[in-house]
Structure 1
């Protein structure tokens, strides 16, 4: 399991994730500290099923208002629950996207090899805002631009991301820059 640390300009903070991939499965745990939109700490654990499809994201966030927890589960059939409550707005999504977290851009890129080969894919994501941990649907498009380069788009937002050969974010303009190699 290798550690990756990013400076997260989007939160004016830092994140470290310990991640491992094996047989199309990603497991990771991470911690982040940020000051935007307010000072917070985050701890998370992420587990995918085969094909890098999210199985579970467990997150704890601590901010001035107190501590919140989210247990986001995907049943493998396209249905999601948050702390046991159904989330019909994100039915059909295969991935979670933890806000201000560069690690969660890895799953769709790896599943479709978009950091290595041409293609464009549109996804529905179970997007988790930070630090309130609210889950909302998010339509996102990933487009291969060249080896290790993928354009991320959601609504009016666009950013050209750089990935390493393993599918982890190296540079996410306006969000994060990796400080350590795996």
Structure 2
């Protein structure tokens, strides 16, 4: 069974909002979303995300539109490695996940893969980070640590470089509150077979 949700976040860091239509399976996730932001400059962004088993990214397609410009990126991960717009990226070889900048959604994959929304653990990752709105892709070392289980889910610490934030996630590992980035303001759920 696939569990479909429509999630909306108020993204304070970008001065905008993001809505994502997420299909969450037992070990896979797919999503399509749209974000509007005003910082660092005004933009409209759309994306499509696909993962394989264990929530490992297989593809992220993003289009960002701003004043007089449109940017696109097609990030893919196969058995041969990562490509960005068809160009091999060996610097991303150790990454399993993408991380779409200014988006609370992509924190979900590493949290669910390692059960950090359910219990103790600390894991370091290399991510294929996509900067927004420029869509430049670069490797990013990140650490996720389960801090505590809460009545509604868990708190998980996210760290990258000198930055750290304690995320609140629901029972399914989806971000509810990401201090300094954004807060979920609506969640709707539809189940179908």
Report the equivalent of 1:130: 132
User: In structure 1, what is the equivalent of residue 86 of structure 2?
Assistant: 84
1:169 aligns with 2:172: no
What's the counterpart of residue 154 of structure 1?
A: 160
Partners in 1 of 2:82 and 2:13 — Cα distance? Answer: 27
Q: TM-score, normalised by structure 1?
A: 0.97
Q: What TM-score, normalized by structure 2, do the two folds share?
A: 0.92
Q: How does 1:20-169 map to 2 (within 5 A)?
A: 20-76=23-79, 79-147=81-149, 148-169=154-175
Tell me what 1:5 maps to: 8
1:5-59: CA deviation from partner (whole Å, max 9, x where unpaired): 0000010100000001113010100000000111000000000000000010000
8 Å CA contact 1:31–1:42 kept in 2: the answer is yes
* CA gap 1:65/1:90 in 2 versus in 1, 3 angstroms: farther
Contact 1:44 1:59 in 2 (8 A): yes
Q: CA separation in 1, counterparts of 2:68 and 2:140?
A: 26
Cα gap change, 1:6 to 1:31, in 2 (>3 Å): same
More strand by share: 2
Q: 1:68-105, CA deviations, whole angstroms, 9 ceiling, x for partnerless residues?
A: 1111000145x210110011211110000000000000
| Greater mean alpha carbon deviation, residues 61-70 or residues 157-166 | 61-70
Per-residue displacement from partner, 1:119-176 (whole Å, max 9, x unpaired)?
0000000000001100001000000001111000000000000000111100000001
CA distance in 1, matches of 2:118, 2:104: 18
Moved over 3 A (4+): none
Return 5+ residue gaps in structure 1 as ranges: none
Superposition RMSD in Å: 0.9
